[in-house]
């Protein structure tokens, strides 16, 4: 995050701001993605919540 260029300090430090949590979570997500890519793991991704269809819905 570039304070003053991408976002003002007032907005970044606001009690309603989620920027710091997003930055913190983004690091973990990028590390996990790199680990899976570099390790050659071929597992399929889990379905996104709300997108999985049950057997009853598909009939």
What are 24-53's pLDDT values in tens digits?
A: 888 889 998 899 889 886 767 677 777 755
The whole-angstrom distance between residue 5's C-alpha and the CA centroid of its chain comes to: 23
Rounded to the nearest 5 degrees, what angle is found at the Cα of 13, between the Cα atoms of 12 and 19? Answer: 40
**Which are the contacts of 1, defined by CB distance < 8 A and separation ≥ 6?**
7, 12, 19, 23
pTM recorded for the entire structure: 0.44
Structure tokens at 40: 């050659």
- Can you give the pLDDT at residue 58? 52
| Residue 17 near residue 11 (C-beta atoms within 8 A) | yes
**Helix, strand, or coil here: 7?**
strand
């Amino acid at each position: 995050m570039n304070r003053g260029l991408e976002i003002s300090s007032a907005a970044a430090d606001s009690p309603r701001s989620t920027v710091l949590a997003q930055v913190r979570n983004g690091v973990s997500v990028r590390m996990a993605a790199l680990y899976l890519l570099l390790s050659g793991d071929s597992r399929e991704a889990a379905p996104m919540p709300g997108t999985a269809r049950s057997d009853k819905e598909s009939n």
